[in-house]
């Protein structure tokens, strides 16, 4: 949040003690050297069906797997439960988020789909700046698994939960959308294929020393 300007960056969901949020690493605004007048804020849905803005801070981040953990001030809110088992191919899932950001108003939207595959991916380096020691080490370690979804996600869905329809448990975190052609075509002609980070990587981030 650049005071007095607010910029929507993505979706997240509450976990654990009700004061922590999981989202994508790419949703977190980049550090700007010398800037001290900016911060992170989240909107929490209240029982009165209203949005309440809470200040938040970054607790832990896993850039290669595109995950971040935030904590926020104020009373705890209901948290989603993480699935104990990985979602299998064919599992019915639902995505919850804010497609196209605030263009359609800040109302959470649900899309249905299935887990179509579990596949390996190597995170690309973002130009020469992405070739850090950590990025090179990740490439040497090889690919890691993501969930391929037969479901349509849009910009704004990033960081949102992927839910098992039967149990309501979180099985993944929306991370990427397969784009046909240009970036703009993600809106005009969506591919219907999205990717999510498996829930086991979320559990690993929550169990990391920086998160405790």
pLDDT of residue 142: 59
pLDDT score of 101 = 66
> Both 181 and 116 in a single domain?
yes
Do 97 and 184 share a structural domain? yes
What tokens does 77 get? 């809110």
**Residue 130, in any domain of the structure:** yes
List per-residue pLDDT tens for the chain, 212 residues long.
Answer: 344 456 788 899 999 999 999 999 989 987 766 655 568 889 888 878 888 899 999 999 998 889 999 999 889 999 999 999 999 999 999 999 888 766 656 778 899 999 999 988 755 544 444 444 555 555 555 578 899 999 888 878 899 999 999 999 999 999 876 544 444 444 554 546 789 999 999 999 999 877 66
- DSSP string computed for the chain: -BTTB-------EEETTTTEEEE-GGGSPPP-TT--SB-EEEEEE-TTS-EEEEEEEEEEEETTTTEEEEEE-SS----PPBPSSPPPTT-EEEEEE-TTGGGG-S--EEEEEEEEEEEEE-PPP-SGGG--HHHHHHHHH--EEEEEEES---TT-TT-EEEETTT--EEEEEEEE--SSSTTHHHHS--SEEEEEEHHHHHHHHHSGGG-
- Is residue 69 located within the same domain as residue 107? no
The pLDDT value recorded for residue 39 is 82
Q: Which structural domain, as residue segments, surrounds residue 197?
A: 92-207
pTM of structure: 0.81
Domain end position, chosen among 79, 106, 131: 79
Same domain, 96 and 73: no
pLDDT at 60: 95
Predicted pLDDT of residue 115:
96
43 shares its domain with 147: no
Same structural domain, 120 and 166: yes
In whole angstroms, give the CA distance from residue 84 to residue 90: 17
Domain boundary among 29, 46, 79: 79
In a shared domain, residues 127 and 192? yes
């Amino acid at each position: 949040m650049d005071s007095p300007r607010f910029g929507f960056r993505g979706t997240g969901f509450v976990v654990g003690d009700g004061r922590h949020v999981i989202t994508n690493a790419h949703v977190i605004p980049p550090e700007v050297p010398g800037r001290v007048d900016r911060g992170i804020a989240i909107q929490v849905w209240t029982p009165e069906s209203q949005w309440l803005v809470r200040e938040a801070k970054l607790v832990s981040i896993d850039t290669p797997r595109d995950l971040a953990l935030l904590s926020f001030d104020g009373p705890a809110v209901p948290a989603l439960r993480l699935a104990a088992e990985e979602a299998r191919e064919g599992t019915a899932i639902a995505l919850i988020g804010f497609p196209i950001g605030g263009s359609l108003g800040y109302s959470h939207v649900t899309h249905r789909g299935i887990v179509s595959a579990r596949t390996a991916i190597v995170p690309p380096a973002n130009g020469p700046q992405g070739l850090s020691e950590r990025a090179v080490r990740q490439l040497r370690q090889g690919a890691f698994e993501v969930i391929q979804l037969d479901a349509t996600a849009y910009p704004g869905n990033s960081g949102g939960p992927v839910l098992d329809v039967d149990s309501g448990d979180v099985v993944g975190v929306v991370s990427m959308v397969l784009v046909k052609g240009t970036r703009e075509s993600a809106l005009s002609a969506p591919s219907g294929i999205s990717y999510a980070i498996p829930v086991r990587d979320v559990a690993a981030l929550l169990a990391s020393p920086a998160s405790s």
